[in-house]
Structure 1
Amino acid sequence: MFHKEITDTQLWNAVRANDQQSFNKLFDKYWVSVYKTSYKYLRDKEGSQEIVHDIFLSIWNRRHELVIDSFPAFLLTAARYQIYSRKKLKRFTFDSTSELAADPYTTSNDADIRIRQTELNNNLQLTLRGLPNRCQEIFRMSRFECLSNDEIAMHLGISKRTVENQLTMALRHIRSHMKDIAEH
C-alpha cells in the first residue's frame, strides 16, 4: 500500500479546524528552518528560539483568522518581521545606569530625543488611521516589516503596481498631515 504524504495546505486546513496533531507536524517540519533563519541574522540562540516559539504560538492563536497560501513564505515573512523587531528593540534599549554615569548631559538629550520620537511615532500612527485598511496594511508591510513591493504583492495576492499605487497614496497622505503637524 502506498502512503500519500499530506501537503502543507491539508495540514493547515486541519489546524484551522483545531487539529493539534497537524499543527505539531507543521511545527516539526519547519521549526529548524525558522530557527536557522533567525540565528543567521541575530547570532543569538535564545533569541532565535524565542522567535520560533512566538511565531508558532501566534499561528496557533490566530489560526481561525490567518489565510496562509504558502506556509514557507508565511514563515519567512514572520521570521523577518520578528528579526527586524528584535534588532530595532536592541538598538533602542536604554541602560540608564551606564548612561547616567557616563554623561548626565547626554542622558537629558537622549530623553528629549526619545520624547520627540514617541510624539512623532504617535502622530504617524494617528495619520495612518486616516488611510483605508488595505493601504495601511501595505504601508506597514513596506515600512515596518521591510518587505519589498514584490513580496507584499505575493503575500497579499495583488499586483506589484497596486502595491506601488497604495504606497504612493499613503506617502502623500502622510506628507500632507505631517506637514500640518510641523506647522503647528
Structure 2
Amino acid sequence: MEVTDNRLFDLIRENNELAFHEVYNRYWQKLLVVSSSILQDREAAQDVVQDVFIRIWIKRRELEIENVNAYLYQAVKLRCFEYLRRNKINQKLMDRINHILHVNDVEESLNLKETQGILQKSIQSIPAKSLVIFRMSRDDAMSHREIAEKMQISKKAVEYHITVSLKHLRKLLTESTILFLFYFF
C-alpha cells in the first residue's frame, strides 16, 4: 500500500528525511517538466525545482498543505515567475549598460568616457567577493551552481553577491542618468 502525499507531509513535519525523499522522487520529474516549459532553460528549471524542495524542508514545520500536488505545482510556477521577473530586471540593466557603452554619436562619445569612469568607480565600490562572483556570472557566463561549486559557497550566497553587485550598478545608472539629463537638458 502506497503512503499518501498528505501522510508523507505529516512525516516531513516530524523531520522524516525518508518521507521527504519520497515526495521528492514522486514529484521531481513532473515539476521539472512544468518549470522547463515556463523557463525554456533546463538548468534554471532544475534550480527552481530544487529551490522549492529546499524551501519545503526549511519550512517543513510551518507548512499546512491540504493538496500536496497543487501546492507543489503552484510553488514551482511562482518560483519560475519570480526567476523570470528577476532576470528581466537584470537584462534591462545590462541592456542599459550596453547602450551607454555602445554610443556612436561624437558628442555622446565624449560623455562615454565620463560614464565609463563613473562605471569603473562604481565597479570598484562593489565588494571584492561580490565583484568576482558578478564577473564569473556575466563575463564567464557561469551558472549560479558552477560559481557556488568553484567558490565553495551556497547558491544563495552567489545570488546574494550578484544582487549586491546589481544594486551598486543600478544606483550608478540612476545617478548618472539624472546627472546626464540635468547637464544636457
TM tier relative to shorter chain:
0.5 to 0.7
Alpha-carbon distance, 1:112 to partner:
4.0
User: 1:29 aligned to 26, 31, 36, which one?
Assistant: 26
Q: Which amino acid aligns with 2:99?
A: E
Unaligned runs of 5+ in 2: 116-169, 178-185
Are residues 1:89 and 2:86 paired? yes
Q: Which residue of 2 aligns with 1:155?
A: none
Q: Are 1:19 and 2:16 matched, yes or no?
A: yes
Range with greater deviation from structure 2 (83-92 or 51-60): 83-92
Q: Secondary structure at the match of 1:92?
A: helix
Question: Where do 1:67-86 residues align within 5 Å?
Answer: 67-86=64-83
- The secondary structure found in structure 2 opposite 1:85 is helix
Residue 102 of structure 2 corresponds to which residue in structure 1? 102
Task: Tell me how large the CA RMSD over aligned residues is.
Answer: 2.8
SS state at 2:46 partner: helix
Q: What amino acid sits opposite 1:5 in the alignment? A: E
Q: Distance in 2 between matches of 1:77 and 1:29?
A: 16
- Where has structure 1 moved over 4 Å in runs of 4 or more? none
Give the letter aligned to residue 63 of structure 2: L
1:46 aligns with 2:43: yes
| Aligned AA (1:78) | A
Q: CA distance change for structure 1 residues 10 and 56 in 2, over 3 Å: closer, same or farther?
A: same
> Distance between the aligned counterparts of 1:53 and 1:99, measured in 2?
35
> How many Å apart are 1:46 and its aligned residue?
0.7
Q: How many residues align?
A: 111
Match of 1:58 in 2: 55
Q: How far is 1:71 from its partner?
A: 0.9
TM-superposed deviation, 1:102: 2.5
* C-alpha displacement of 1:86: 1.0
Q: Cα distance, 1:97 vs. partner?
A: 4.7
Cα distance per residue 1:96-135 (max 9 Å; x no partner): 6523213479x9xx8449x9xxxxxxxxxxxxxxxxxxxx
Give, in whole Å, the separation in 2 of the partners of 1:26 and 1:87.
26
Q: Aligned equivalents of 1:32 and 1:59: distance in 2?
A: 17
Query: What is the alpha-carbon distance in structure 2 between the residues aligned to residue 74 and residue 32 of structure 1?
Result: 16
| Runs of at least 5 residues in structure 1 that lack an aligned partner in the other structure | 116-184
Q: What percentage of residue pairs aligned between the two structures are identical?
A: 25
* TM score, norm. by length of structure 2: 0.54
Counterpart mapping for 1:133-148 below 5 A: none
CA distance, structure 2, for counterparts of residue 57 and residue 77 of structure 1 = 15
Q: How much does 1:5 deviate? A: 1.1
Q: Secondary structure in 1 aligned to 2:25? A: helix
Distance 1:7 1:99 in 2: 54
